[in-house]
Structures are given as C-alpha cells and as structure tokens.
Structure 1
C-alpha cells in the first residue's frame, strides 16, 4: 500500500514545489558558472571533477529553464479582484530565468563548437522570449507588482541578447571589440606607445593586444585583416623585449585575449554599447529589487513565493556585483583605460591595475607529464574491473592515473627560446641553400635540424643517427624511441656528482611529448598513436616482467635493466598480433642503441634538448589552429605558446606572406 502511495506523493510534491526546487537548482548552476567560469583557462587538465560540474551546469541550465517556463505557462490566470495572487508572484520567475541564462560573463561558450552553432541561439532567444512574454501577459493584473515585470523583462532580454550576440559573432569579428581607434589611426597608435613607453608592463599589454589583432587572420573564420604590415614596429617584439620572460608573457596575454573572444562576453561588455547595456540592466535589477522589498517588507512569511523571489533577486544582484567588480580586473579594462589615460583619476587607476596584472594567472603554466616506464611498472597495480576491460576503458584509466603536471621553470623557457632561435637560423640556412641551388645535407626528417645544429650530418653518419630521426609518418615512433633513450640517459646522469644542467629540462620535454602523444594526440595530428603506444608498452612490460613478483619497482632499476640485458622480444611474447604500423619495429632495441650513441656524445643533453625542441616546434606548426584554440579552455598547452611564437616570427620575417593553410605549413624546409 505504501509503495502504491509513493508515486502519488512524489507527484503532489512536484506539483506543489516543483518550480521552487528547479529555481534552487537554477540558482546553484548560475553561481557555479559565474564564480568558476573564468577558472577554466587556469585549471589543470587533471581537475576532472570541477570541469564536470561546470560542463553539467552549462548544459543543464537551458534545459532547467525550459522546464520551469513550461510549468509557468500552465499556471492559472491571475484574478484581477484579489490584491496579490500566487500566479502574479510566480510571474516574476520568468524574466529572472532570462537574466540567469544570460548573466555569465565568463563563460558564453563551453567549446568552439558552441560558437559555430551560435546562430541557432537566435531561435532559442526568440522562443524563450516569446514564452516569457506570454507568461507575463497571463499574470498581468495592472497592479504595482505587475508593473515590476517590465524592468525585469528588459534586464532579461538584454542579458540573454548579449549572450546570443557573443556566441553568433565570436568567429566573425563583428562583436565590436574595444578601442577601434587603435586599428584605424596609425598616428594615434604611435602616440599611445610613446606615452606608455615609461611603463614596460603597460607596453607589454598593449603590444600583446596589437599582436592579438594581427593573429586574427590565422584563426578559423576570422575573415578581416587589420592593416598592420606598414606598422610592424608596434606589432613586433623589439630588442628590449626579447628576453624569454617577456616573450612568454606576451603570448600569455595574447592567448588570454583570444580566449576571451572565443569563450566570454569580453568583446561586447568592454564597448560603449556593452557599457550602456550593463548600466541599464543593473539599474533595472536593483530598482526592481528595492521596490519589491518595500512592497513585501512585512509579508515575506505570509507570501512564501515572495520570499523565494526575493532570495533569487538577492543571488542575481550579488553575482552581478561580483561580475562588475571583475570587469576592472582584466587586461581588457587596461586596454580600455589606455584610451582615456589623460582624464582625471584614470592614470592612477591604470597604474594600479597594471601593477596588479603581473600577478594575474592567465593559464595553468604547467606541462603535462607521462612516463612510459612508470606506466608499465604501475600497470598491474591499477586493477580494473572486467566491464572496464570489455569496453576498453581500463587503459584510459591507467593513462589518467599515470599522468601528472609540473610547473614550467624560467630556465626551461629560456632554453626553449634559445633552441627555437637556433632551429630557425638553421632552417633559414637550408632555405637559402635550396634557393641558391646548392647542395644541402638536409633530407627532411623530424629532428634532423637539431642534429645538424650539433654538426651531425645524416648522410655521412647514417649508422649513428639516421635511423632515429623519423619521417612525418613515423613521428609517433620517434617520440617513443627518444623518450625511452632519454630516460636511460637521465638515470645514468643522476648518479654523477655534477649532472648536466639540461638534464631535468630534457626529461621534462621528453615526458611532455609523451603526454601529447598519449593524452593529446589530436594536437600532433597523429592517427596511429594508440597502436604505437600499445605495442611499445607491451614490449616494455614483457622485458621488465611487470607483475606481482617483479623486483623492478622504480624507473632507475628499469633503465639499468634496459641497458644491460638482451632486449629481443619475440612476437609470441606480445599480447596482440603485430600490425602494419608496428611490423618489424624493435622499439626497445632502437632505444637501447640510441642511448648508447648518446652516451658517447660529449654534448648529449644539448643534443637531446635540441631534438625535443625540434619535435615540439614541428608539432606546434602542424597542429590545426582549432586544436590549439580548443585546449585554451583546458588550461592551455605550452605547445600553443610555441605555435604563436613561431607564427609571429614568420610574419615578422615575411610581413606580406599569406598563410597557405589554416592547418599550418607542413613543409619542413
């Protein structure tokens, strides 16, 4: 009997309190998206729980609002003879839902795909707005409370309209980005740089903003091109700013501007139109809340719906105040204030913001790390159920638990800039030789530029290093072989009293390239990474005899084992049949041979770092633009910063050159 009554009880609760429960859920999602929306750019990829919460809030907010509006459309029509009716109070909820849906300044799009479907939001705007108007007409009684619908509805239409505008224009450049004078008047731009030249931090921000405009033609579907070719002195990095910290800070700032354009309302709210909209919507919300509180100051207990509405108004206004405060703590605010720097009080505010801006974290500033040997040693310790193995999820879970991240030290950034300069000089030399139709030792393999920098010429040294640099088709194999060889060399170096200063940097780069191969293979444009990884890990586990009774528990012992014993692994030892990709590939033998050759080289770690940087530069250039922009919302990747530095370096050298493809120039020479 009790079981039969349960559905009726649930139905009664849903009929009586369903709207209030959904409003509480909607307010919770509104708080999550407002408070944590901007943290995605700084969040490490391993924070899956918070990302899942934000993803769920972003997707469900519209559905929850639709359900509430559906329930509101069937509430009884207000009685004109009563002073205050329940239907009249519930009518307040409809415009407040529009305010909540459009109030997220820090997260308008969860991914780039949302921007591509932004035009569809216009249909949603029309449908939701029409439903809200219908609800307000049904609840209208010509009382003082009914007239409060008007400012709330105006605020809701403005907020939801801003979000739709931001989504539909993010990829077209028609969102009205701030201070267009910087693009239109070169004299004005020159005057600004002259006046801010005494503040290097402010000059870096302005220079990054100019570079941000210049990179737009290379971003998918941004079709307009500002005429900076005659003004490259403002766009390029001069000698004063060519230290690694400044160069990476400029890319941090520039990618921050790109992130805001793609995923937030920043291009809209930092314009005069956005300022007017924000002022009007805020005044509407505040005035409506004040009047509502005065009308029901002694009746919140009697009218429960009035108390619910007042709480919702309080949450919305509090979050709105927080967002207005955050508007001043951004690089866009600094750019906007530059235009008005000569007005009273603005210069002092500008200087205060610039000083604080050095502490703002614009991305995760970390590098993912994946160690293949550590993965194989921990493979049997991370036990997974049969269902996970049946679905193939056990490997993904093991990958996740064997992945970590490290901060990027300043020495590593300096080394990256130095190696990029060397690689660029070598590439220019090869291009010059080809242009002059002179004989060049360059063959066209990944890592070959780095070997040439260290005077290792492949045709004459084929038996030494020719086999360990790969063609584009074998890029994933080259990463695995060099990763294992780097590990062997690293643990051999750590036993020395004075290890090479680049030892740690080489290992960080090695683990990072493996991380890209295993966890971010889309950024390497590789389709065979899973096959190569599975083959290499199986071969390695057979040699190390990982399991319950193995004596090998750490990477150092494992590397000693790889150095000293015969690494031949027969096909009968493998768990799966060899494929076309891995046929005749002796991954462990290649890694052992490479480590032996490297140990005979006096500048082994210089060579290792050069090769990894060559691979990283190749990956950055050949990664699709959309892939780079997609990972900005996941904390960002250092490979994206390398891509941007290379992109601008090529434009500075050839300002009139045009991109051959948005997917990057795949020509190595």
Structure 2
C-alpha cells in the first residue's frame, strides 16, 4: 500500500482559478490604462525623482570618502537617472491624454530640484565639458514645462505662481551651468592667479618670514571685477592691493582668527595655486627659495621638542583637495565666486517661495486648482495634494541643505575669515558708513552658519576627528594574492596565446588583452583598504624633511642607512652611480619605475613571510614598510596613470612579473620555502638575464642577511622615499579625476610637493637664489 496520497482537484477548479486570474489581470490592466492610473504613474515618477534629488543633495559629496563599488555606483545611477527620468516624466505629462491641474507645478518643481542638488553637478570631468548639450537639454525641458503650463493653467493666480517657480528654476539651473562652465574653462580666473604669482615675490622683495607669514602674499580672496588686464608686452592681469585683496599675510595678521580658520584660508590659497596646473598655467614661483621655505619652514616647521606636526601637514592638504573636489564636481565654487549680493538676495527668498506656493495652492477656495473645462482633465484628488506637498517639501529641504552645507563647511569658514579681515581693516581706517552697513549685512548668513556649525560640533564631538577624504590606502600583495590553482578558463586563454604565435589569423592586439585578464585574475585582487596610520604619515614627512626636496628612488635612504650594497636594485642598467660624477639624462629620470617597485615589493613580501623571532623593537618600521610597499603595488595594479611613465608600459611590466609569479608559485603551498630554495639554485644566473621576480627574491634574501631591526629600518625609509619620488606628475587631470573616487595618498603628496616647488623628479634648488630661481 502506497503512503503517497494524491488529492484530486474538484471538478471545474482549474477553470475557476483561470477565470479569477484573468479577471484580476484585466482589472489591473484596465485600472492602469484608466485616467486615474495614468495620473498615478506620473505621480510615482515625480515622487521617485524627488527622492533621487534629495539623495544626491545629501549624499553626493560624500562619495569622496567612499571607494566601495556600491557607494560609487549608487551615486552614478542616481546622477544618470535624475536627468533621464526628468525628461521622461515631462514627456509623459505632455503626451498623456489625461491632464491634472498639478502637472505644471510638478514639472517646474522637478527642474528646481535638479538644479538644487549642489552636492554634485558633475560625476566626472567629462560631464563639465558638455556645455552645449546641457544647454539644449535644459532649454528643451523648460519648453516642455512651459507647454504643459500653457495647456492647463487659465487663471491669474496660477500663472503668477508658476512664473515665480519658473524664475526660481532658472536661477538654480543658471548657477549649476555656471559651476560646470567654471570647472571646464575658467581661464580668466586662473590667469589672474598665474599672473599675480609672477609678481608676488616683488611685493616683499628678499624679505620674508615663514614663521609669521610676513611677505607671503598668496591670494585668498579678491574682487574679480577689479582685476584688470594691463597693456604691456606681457598683457598680464594686475590685482592691486587697494582692491580689497585678502592674502595669507593679512590672514596671519588678523587677531580675530583662530588657528583652524587660518589653516582653512591657507588651504584655500593653495587650492588656487594647484588649480592653475589643471588649466595649463605655469607655476612661476616654483624655482624660488621662498617657495621651498614655505613648505619646509612653515608646514614642516618643528616645535620646541624638535618634532613636526605631520597631522597639520596632511590636514592642510586634505582641505585644499576638498576645495579642489568642490570646484570641479559641486556648485559651491559658483556660489562663492559670484557677486556677493546674489546669494544674499536669493538665499532666503528661495526658501520662502516654495512655502508661499504651498499655502497658495492648497488654501481653501483657491482658484489655482480649477483648469480648463476639458473632458480629459481630471479633478485634483487627495493624492495629488500629497504629492504636491511632498515636492514643495523637497524643494525647501534642498534649499536649507544648500545653505547648511555651504555656510557650515570650509567655504563658510573662509568667508567668515575674509569678512573678519576686512572688518578689522575697516575699523582701523575711516570707511564710509554705507560700506560698514554692507559688511554687516554680508555677515548675517556667515554668522548664522558659524553658529550652526559650532552647535553641530558641540552635539557631535567626533566631527572634529573626521577627514575630508577616506583616510585609507589601498593594499595589494603580489606573493600573497597568487592563486594556488589555475582554472580551465585560464589554461584555455594561455593556450590561445601560444597558438597566436603560429597562426596569422589571431590578432595580437585582441589576444594579449584577453590573456592579460587571465594573468591578472591569477594574480588575485587587491585587499581591503587600511587606515592611513600616524606612523605612515610621520615616516613620509620625515623623509621629505630629511631629503629637503631632493628626490631619489630610494638611493638616498640606502646610503644614509649604510646599505650601499643594495643600490643595485635601484639603478637602471645604463645609469651611472651617483658618485661617478655623470648626471642622468632627463628621460632617464622620468623613466618608468614599475620594475623597481616590483623588485622591492617582492623583497619586502619575502621578508614579511620569513619566520622571525622578535620584531617588537621594529614594529613601527615593519608596519610602515609593508603598508607603503603594498600601496605602491596597488597603484601599479589599479592606478598606473598616477605613476611615472606611460600607463601601458606599467601594465605590461606588471603583467609580465605577475605571470612570472603565477608560473612559479601557483602550485607551491610553501611559497617562502620555494623562493628560498630557488634563490640558492640560481646563484650562478647572470644578472642581465634574471627576471624581475627572481631579482626581488634575491634582494629579499640579501635583506634577510641583515639584523631584523636594521632590515625594517632600511625598508621603511626606502618606501617612504620611493613614494615621494613617484608623486610629481604633469597629469593633473588624472589626479583630479581620482578625487571623485575617494582620493589617493599619492595625490596628497603630489599637491604638497607642488607647493614646495618640486614639479618633477631630479629637480634641484640652489639655496639663497631668489632672482634666477636656482633650478638646475
């Protein structure tokens, strides 16, 4: 007897079920195509777009603190959808046979919100260059909005309210478009700074004091309309000191400012100098001793105990790069550089208008809800009223958010500091009463923002500990990441590469990238980003202070640590020793450093894998060495465009060495033992025929012969000096693009070296030579 019982459905059960399903689906489809269903679809789109806009306004700028794939792509998806959904929603309103009396106000509200997401105006630098495309899209969108309004509104109250909201949308979109235009071609703004810095050193002559900033007239704030192009052989832009210019010297002389405000203004001034390089203007001050002293005697100044405040060094650069990010990817720079009266006049009305609109539209007896007597026009329902309130609430929220994010952040700090400087100057001189009244009016939003910011810091003390960037560095270890087993796909791809040598049909330009994917997969993925520790920051600052800006790829550190026998691992085959009296050519100085990075990285990993007795005396040096070694390897694998040389050369070298490591280590569970035995068996191999992987293993074995403390001291100093050597770059666009994805430590070092006048590797500065610059 079977235990499985089958219960038969009653007669007609299947027909009833099918009939019910068909009826339900027809009911849903019928409602979806009905007048109410049509309006509901548009309501859902409007609400969804409003949520996206608020998300971009609140979270858009925080992507610079997150490098995770999810955080970056969520912002990208919201940024792309915001534009396409606005166009699609407007088209749905216009083409829909059913008209709601709220359509015109929903449409114009979408444009107000899309122009109010100040936290992100561009996802990438390429977005800023699409000026004409953006202009025509906005023009076409506003045409659709006007067409919707003309076809529905028929009373004076509604028309006036719509005109007010349309004017608000025009202002917000004008600000956004101006921000993109500034980020793409603000030539005049940057030429003013470049021309000014050509003559800046003449304002103080040879007399300057880094301790008090006397003689440092770096621009902080100045009225743009008072900078004139003077006739002459150079046609340089002149900025007179009588035009209300605020410079670093005045900031340091203002008694009303705190040290945090001074450093914020210093970062803002350095941001002006760094931004010139993006637009192709030269750094005229770079060869001067005064520029060199600015970094080594101001930022790297030692206290009474002989220590350097490395936290302050990185904080100044952090804030500077935050200004850099905001200039290229947000709207804050447009708010700052535009005439002061515009934000002062429109900040508060932009909040009042939506509130007035809500009261007018939804008040009892309002004629706004009455439309033309068309049969296809629906009456306004409770859902329409709720959606309208939600839209107006989002507009108010975005306006308040804009004010808070501007006046309570670094931009507001700079505005408050510059106002304090000008107010102090006005109190010392007899200024017109009208001038003082204007200054007081300008100070109202500044002081409100400062009050809110102080309250925020009081309620959340941990805010002072946060960073403007992720404060993390990527990590990748070639030896640890090599996979033990090779997949069938990897074997097939490698076999394909072998066949490409015998068959002309294979295109090597197509085959090699595919094979490289296999090699990179076998070489593993980068590990998690780790916190940028105080020990690493201190090591980098101390290395820069020790070398005084004379950069080498680690050779100086080896010599100072008495490890001259390791210099062979830092030299090109055709380079002369530094003590031979023969200087290297400029092309050799800029040569790709991938082979040296990988050689020392493999050696460092080899020492890390080796069994050790006690590392307690050198835990700090071991941490610095391994962190920087894995970070440089991470740059090779993930960000080669930030390193010297062409990125394709870097790709090829990395792939070749990764393939060497995979071939040797993929089937060996004891990697260290295998490498140690291989080193002994290859002692007779000529150096000229030795592969980079085995050169690294040989270097690691040579390092293992040193005392543990000395070994890690050598490696820590080497990697700190090597990373500084890699930092100078002319590819400014690559560094700026990197800021949008969370930033990189090498970008911070690039900015710091730029302000020290170190623009390229191998540069030398002749002390006490102000006139001719001293670069050799």
TM-score range, shorter chain: 0.7 to 0.9
- Are 2:744 and 1:637 aligned? yes
- Which range moves more in the overlay, 190-199 or 33-42? 190-199
Aligned position for 1:478: 596
Q: CA RMSD in A?
A: 4.4
Aligned position for 1:319: 398
SS at match of 2:475: strand
Aligned position for 1:250: 316
Distance 1:416 1:166 in 2: 35
Distance 1:24 1:195 in 2: 49
Q: TM-score, normalised by structure 2?
A: 0.69
| Cα deviation, residue 401, structure 1 | 4.7
Aligned position for 1:663: none
Distance 1:491 1:478 in 2: 20
| Cα deviation, residue 422, structure 1 | 2.8
Contact kept in structure 1, 2:54 and 2:117, CA below 8 Å: no
| Structure 2 unaligned spans of 5+ | 1-17, 191-219, 225-238, 370-378, 424-439, 458-462, 497-510, 576-587, 683-687, 760-764
Distance 2:755 2:728 in 1: 12
- Are 2:271 and 1:212 aligned? yes
SS at match of 1:170: helix
| Cα deviation, residue 225, structure 1 | 9.2
Contact kept in structure 2, 1:173 and 1:222, CA below 8 Å: no
- Closer, same or farther in 2 for the Cα pair 1:336/1:295, shift >3 Å? farther
Aligned position for 2:349: 280
Structure 2 counterpart of 1:606, from 705, 713, 718? 713
| Structure 1 unaligned spans of 5+ | 78-85, 428-444, 570-582, 660-666
- Closer, same or farther in 2 for the Cα pair 1:497/1:413, shift >3 Å? closer
- Closer, same or farther in 2 for the Cα pair 1:228/1:621, shift >3 Å? closer
- Closer, same or farther in 2 for the Cα pair 1:311/1:165, shift >3 Å? same
- Are 2:754 and 1:647 aligned? yes
| Cα deviation, residue 333, structure 1 | 0.3
Contact kept in structure 2, 1:154 and 1:281, CA below 8 Å: no
Distance 2:523 2:356 in 1: 54
Structure 2 counterpart of 1:267, from 333, 337, 354? 333
Structure 1 counterpart of 2:48, from 15, 25, 40? 25
| Cα deviation, residue 656, structure 1 | 8.2
- Closer, same or farther in 2 for the Cα pair 1:511/1:55, shift >3 Å? same
Aligned position for 1:562: 675
Contact kept in structure 1, 2:679 and 2:697, CA below 8 Å: no
- Closer, same or farther in 2 for the Cα pair 1:310/1:466, shift >3 Å? closer
Distance 1:464 1:71 in 2: 66
Distance 2:41 2:771 in 1: 61
Aligned position for 1:363: 469
| Cα deviation, residue 515, structure 1 | 0.4
Aligned position for 1:335: 414
- Give the alignment of 1:162-173 within 5 angstroms: 162-173=175-186
Distance 1:53 1:359 in 2: 26
Q: TM-score, normalised by structure 1?
A: 0.79
Structure 2 counterpart of 1:490, from 608, 611, 615? 608
- Closer, same or farther in 2 for the Cα pair 1:8/1:528, shift >3 Å? farther
- Which range moves more in the overlay, 338-347 or 138-147? 338-347
Distance 2:354 2:327 in 1: 27
- Closer, same or farther in 2 for the Cα pair 1:223/1:498, shift >3 Å? closer
Structure 1 counterpart of 2:360, from 277, 280, 291? 291
Contact kept in structure 2, 1:175 and 1:267, CA below 8 Å: no
Contact kept in structure 2, 1:107 and 1:263, CA below 8 Å: yes
- Closer, same or farther in 2 for the Cα pair 1:230/1:157, shift >3 Å? farther
Distance 1:657 1:318 in 2: 55
- Are 2:541 and 1:541 aligned? no
Contact kept in structure 2, 1:175 and 1:268, CA below 8 Å: no
- Closer, same or farther in 2 for the Cα pair 1:477/1:641, shift >3 Å? same
Deviations 1:528-560 (A, max 9, x none): 3443333333332333344xxx6x3xxxx5234
Distance 1:399 1:464 in 2: 23
Deviations 1:480-502 (A, max 9, x none): 22111001122337532534231
- Which range moves more in the overlay, 97-106 or 186-195? 186-195
Distance 2:27 2:678 in 1: 69
- Closer, same or farther in 2 for the Cα pair 1:203/1:233, shift >3 Å? farther
